[in-house]
Amino acid sequence: MVEPFGFIGVFIAVAIVLASVPLLLNWVLAPHKPNQIKSETYECGIETQGDTWVQFKAQYYIYALIFVIFDIEAVFLLPWAVAYNQIPLAGLIAMIVFIVLLADGLVYAWRKGDLKWA
């Protein structure tokens, strides 16, 4: 057995089964009587107008961009964190400089007003 990822594979398979079996049971047990009005889109009783999948507020996109900066940071920070107890002082200082540089990006976005919900 290839622990640990073998077990994780088995576990995810079991989790999918645990999630889909009630759904299948529901499909078997419950009635199926769809009609025109029942399968309308529910938007508080008002008939839906136009396309749902439209272009949307750009603000969300800016947050996603800032998130990417910090997500890349994750790749570098975690290995450093695990080795933290063994690395010399230089490694510590280097990582602090790295974090400060990243924080700099956040401060820039802040000063530009990108963190303000408009």
Partner 1 sequence: MDPFTSIGLSLRDLLAALGLADWFIDLIMAALRAAILGTVALLAFMFLTWLERKVIGRIQDRLGPTYAGPIGILQPIADGIKTITKEIIIPKGADRAPFIVGPILAATAALAVFAVIPFGPDTGHGPLVGTTLNVGLLYILAVGAAGIVAIIMAGWGSNNKFAVLGTFRAVAQLISYEVPQFLSIVTVAMLAGTMELGQIVQIQHVPFIFPLFLTAQIFLLSGVAEAGRSPFDLLEADSEIVAGFHIEYSAMMFALVQMAEYIHAFAISCIFVTLFLNGWAWPFLPGLAPIWFLVKSFGVFLILIWFRGTLPRFRIDQMMAFNWQFLVPVSLVNVILIAILNRVLVVSAGWSASDPNTAWPWGLAMFAANLALMVIVLGIMGRAGRQQRMRDEEKVRGRSFAAATGK
- Phi, psi (deg, nearest 5) at residue 111: -60, -35
Candidates 96, 101, 105, 112: give the one binding partner 1 (CB under 8 A): 96
Q: Give the C-alpha separation, 1 to 95, whole Å.
A: 39
Does position 92 bind partner 1 by CB under 8 A?
yes
Q: Which of 44, 47, 90, 111 binds partner 1 (CB under 8 A)?
A: 44
* Residue of the chain from 47, 74, 90, 113 that contacts partner 1 (CB under 8 A): 74
In angstroms, rounded to a whole number, what is the distance separating the alpha carbons of residues 51 and 96?
49
Q: Check if the beta carbon of residue 109 is closer than 8 Å to that of residue 115.
A: yes
Q: CB neighbours (10 Å) of residue 14? A: 10
Does 71 contact partner 1 by CB under 8 A? yes
Question: Binding of partner 1 at residue 104 (CB under 8 A)?
Answer: no
Q: What whole-number distance in Å separates Cα of residue 97 and Cα of residue 81?
A: 15
Binding site for partner 1 (CB under 8 A): 1, 3-8, 10-16, 18-20, 22-23, 25-27, 29-34, 38-44, 48, 52-53, 56-57, 60, 63-64, 66-67, 70-71, 74, 77-78, 81-86, 89, 92, 95-96, 99-100, 102-103, 106, 110, 115-117
